[in-house]
Structure 1
Amino acid sequence: MWSSAIKDAVEKIRKNMDSFGTKFPHVSRDGAYLLNDNDDWTNGFWSGLLWLCYEYTGDEDFRLGAVRTVEDFRQRFADKKVLDHHDIGFLYSLSSKAQWIVEKDESARQLTLQAADLLLTRWRSRGGYIQAWGPEGDKQEGGRIIIDCLMNLPLLFWAGQQTGNPIYQEVAIMQAEKTRRYLVRGDDSSYHTFFFDQQTGEPIGGATHQGYTNGSTWTRGQAWGVYGFALAYQYTGDPAYLETSKRMARYFLKHLPKDHVALWDFNAPVTADTYRDSSASAIVAAGLLELIGHLEEGDLDRAYLEQGLKDSMTSLVRNYSTIGQEAEGLLQRGSYHVRGGLSPDDFMIWGDYFYLEALIRMETGNKGYWYER
């Protein structure tokens, strides 16, 4: 099942390379990807898909396409084009860092280190956090951290390994600790965002940006936690991160509907019309592969998590993938920002990326581009 799904995905991405040209896919509308210039937080996922396809097939066309995206990211960095946010890791881990991992290209390594330095500029020493959005002192966004940032921390951890400079790891650990303490709730669910006093760092309270309510559990946020804490454990060996990833994974799997693919928020009213977010389940599948790889054979959670992985991936392939269809996307029924009315129930480029990352890891053992192999 996995190899057939990969083959179908690779052929779709090959066709998309021709039709997308130099543009980057974002989310879809009516079954067709909306394309943009390299100016969004999601653009790295297209680069990552091309690197995955190149490594899986050895096809030079995929390599050339991936390298072109890295050059585009190099120009974006030079122009400082829409880089005033925390998602630098999503952009440069899957583009230039991927090129470094695959080809050991020194210029790609240097670009990735520059990106890590840029991410460090979002550290707010007074409050003790990486500010997600907005300039320092911003009245609306100042003091906000979000759970998504866990997936940007591997860029800092990696930079620390590459340079030997402890500041990268110190900041990454402080951010991971703050996320673990304030965004993960006692029942193992999570807030999407949390606010702190910008001057003192005192906690103010949890909130949401894309979830159903401030106190609900947005499923994609929970997914970022599952994978993000597993990656924090990979870099640090701190058992608290491994345990937090397990707790969040158990919560996610326990609250899935019967077909094992997530709704957009675990607390949203459930009707026949409630939106799904297949991208959340794809992220968790990739995260479970990382998490399970760190568990001992006798770990009491291992069998449960392995079954959850199998159930979710089987459902994604059989019920949500576009296998055999003329389609640009790989996974149907993703949701970007339901309350904001942005592309619910359609293709999401990050859903495609994590779906293919999980498939290829299951088939070949390739662990993607979040850390050195």
Structure 2
Amino acid sequence: MNRKTLLFSSVLFMLSASAAIGQTKHDLALDKSFIDGQLAASAKQIKVLAASTPDDQFPKTFEKGAHVFSGSRWWCSGFYPGTLLLLSEGTGDQELQGLALQKLKHLEKEQYNKGTHDLGFMLFCSFGNALRLTGDSTQFKPILATGAESLTSRYSPKTHAIRSWDHGKWKFPVIIDNMMNLEFLMQVAKMTGNKKYADVAKTHANTTIKNHFRKDYSSFHVIDYDPETGAVIAKKTHQGAADESAWARGQAWALYGYTMMYRETKDKAYLNQARNIAKYILNHKNLPADLIPVWDFDYDKIPSDSKMYSQRALRDVSAGALFASSLLELSEYTKGKESKNYFKKAETMIKNLSSDIYFAKNGDNGGFLLKHSVGALSLNSEIDVPLTYADYYYVEALVRYQRLLAGEPLIKE
């Protein structure tokens, strides 16, 4: 075998090995007609939302019979175009891709936004999917690269973490949600060859393991650091029931984030973290039988004199959608009964999210797909309403499952 043939064979081997990541075989209980049917129903429904959405605005929710929109600076702005793109991928409907690309024109300027940590949500869910589906590297790669540079400007070598917020009483707040922005950095590191982005992502993930988790692997919402020394000042919540409670969506951000970090690095510390978080979630006594969580796992500890008491048992479908998508992926990196358990639980979540209890009838719900999410009960904000990110991760779970039905890798880059 000559040198060129050997090199070519090596490249083929690496490509095939990369493609094989995440191809654990499972017995698929949800058939093609069900998954394709839900994607088609979602595509039909989101066109109702599209018809009501102003050109330069982004859907947030539908509350008290009225749409609530935001400008591009709101942290959720990337989810709607991202959902359109995923639905275009899942259905082949090019109209949806066209709607998404039009919306990206109004989001593009956020690549320069250094005032938020949420650029992964804003840019990677939108422009990242656009790059993957269109292959237009000339248009989309520079936006992603600039956005990653803006995000890393918030990293501190003293705290070893990316600052989340610039508001409130906090000194250097880092929220568990920030784990979701690390995929953006990992992908841009590969795209540009600049390992700085991956180094920041891994350091942030390691710092979060050290400081954000309790012994049972539940997560605090907010860790406040001393910006000069890097010491932990406080462990608090902003959207959960209490500082010591386990806010459901926070646990979902953690599960998704560490599963993804294992995929990107093959560091088993991240895999073990994800497995332990999953164990906490799936074995919790307060996880409902249908596996769609209440907004806080410790809702039963809310005192009767609390303003949250009457609504304490509301579900958060956004956390359920995140659990489903995360567990599908985590099942790919584990073995035997453990892998099967994750996969079957994800299937149950997808099936239940697709039921009339949670999935809206066409034309209802303002055109949003899922009902019954909770933004922040403690802040009296977005209570029992649809939320744009719930729809995004639900569709992501459907598309991931569709790939498995087609014999394709769960994750596509």
- TM-score calculated relative to the size of structure 2: 0.83
**Secondary structure of the structure 2 residue equivalent to 1:201:** coil
Aligned equivalent of 1:317, options 354, 363, 366: 354
Cα separation, partners in 2 of 1:116 and 1:350, compared to 1, 3 Å? same
Residue 304 (str. 1) matches residue 341 (str. 2): yes
**Contact conserved, 1:292 with 1:302, CA < 8 A, in 2?**
yes
Residues 30-55 of structure 1 deviation map (CA, whole Å, 9 limit, x = unaligned) = 25431122221001100111111221
Give unpaired runs (5+ residues) of structure 2.
1-33, 302-308
Give the structure 1 partner of residue 381 of structure 2: 342
Cα separation, partners in 2 of 1:177 and 1:170, compared to 1, 3 Å? same
* Offset at residue 24 of structure 1 (A): 0.8
Residues 11-46 of structure 1 deviation map (CA, whole Å, 9 limit, x = unaligned) = 011222222131211122125431122221001100
Work out the CA distance in 1 between the residues paired with 2:351 and 2:111: 39
Give the structure 1 partner of residue 46 of structure 2: 13
**Secondary structure of the structure 1 residue equivalent to 2:295:** coil
Segment drifting more, 160-169 vs 214-223: 160-169
**Contact conserved, 1:5 with 1:323, CA < 8 A, in 2?**
no
Residue 146 (str. 1) matches residue 195 (str. 2): no
* Offset at residue 292 of structure 1 (A): 1.1
* Offset at residue 107 of structure 1 (A): 1.6
Give unpaired runs (5+ residues) of structure 1.
none
**Secondary structure of the structure 2 residue equivalent to 1:269:** helix
Letter in 2 for 1:73: L
Aligned equivalent of 1:355, options 377, 394, 413: 394
Residue 46 (str. 1) matches residue 83 (str. 2): no
Runs (4+) of structure 1 moved beyond 3 Å? 75-78, 270-273
Give the structure 1 partner of residue 328 of structure 2: 289
Work out the CA distance in 2 between the residues paired with 1:324 and 1:40: 27
Residues 126-185 of structure 1 deviation map (CA, whole Å, 9 limit, x = unaligned) = 222111011xxx782322111111110011111111122221111100100011121122
Give the structure 2 partner of residue 101 of structure 1: 132
Cα separation, partners in 2 of 1:371 and 1:95, compared to 1, 3 Å? farther
Give the structure 1 partner of residue 24 of structure 2: none
Letter in 1 for 2:359: S
Residue 3 (str. 1) matches residue 36 (str. 2): yes
**Contact conserved, 2:224 with 2:232, CA < 8 A, in 1?**
yes
Residues 250-305 of structure 1 deviation map (CA, whole Å, 9 limit, x = unaligned) = 21122211222100101112788422101101011111112112223x3x411221
Residues 51-70 of structure 1 deviation map (CA, whole Å, 9 limit, x = unaligned) = 11221232222121111122
**Secondary structure of the structure 1 residue equivalent to 2:150:** helix
Give the structure 2 partner of residue 278 of structure 1: 317
Letter in 2 for 1:130: I
1:56-205 equivalent positions in 2, closer than 5 A = 56-77=90-111, 80=113, 83-105=114-136, 106-134=138-166, 140-205=169-234
* Offset at residue 125 of structure 1 (A): 1.7
Cα-Cα RMSD: 2.1
* Offset at residue 220 of structure 1 (A): 0.1
Work out the CA distance in 2 between the residues paired with 1:181 and 1:31: 44
**Secondary structure of the structure 1 residue equivalent to 2:106:** helix
Work out the CA distance in 2 between the residues paired with 1:123 and 1:18: 39
Work out the CA distance in 1 between the residues paired with 2:373 and 2:143: 31
Cα separation, partners in 2 of 1:152 and 1:186, compared to 1, 3 Å? same
Work out the CA distance in 2 between the residues paired with 1:246 and 1:311: 19
**Contact conserved, 1:27 with 1:336, CA < 8 A, in 2?**
no
Residues 189-213 of structure 1 deviation map (CA, whole Å, 9 limit, x = unaligned) = 1111112221111123321110000
Work out the CA distance in 1 between the residues paired with 2:110 and 2:218: 36
Letter in 2 for 1:285: A
**Secondary structure of the structure 2 residue equivalent to 1:28:** strand
Work out the CA distance in 1 between the residues paired with 2:96 and 2:363: 22
Aligned equivalent of 1:222, options 251, 256, 270: 251
**Secondary structure of the structure 1 residue equivalent to 2:105:** helix
* Offset at residue 6 of structure 1 (A): 1.7
**Secondary structure of the structure 2 residue equivalent to 1:320:** coil
* Offset at residue 323 of structure 1 (A): 3.9
**Contact conserved, 1:333 with 1:345, CA < 8 A, in 2?**
yes
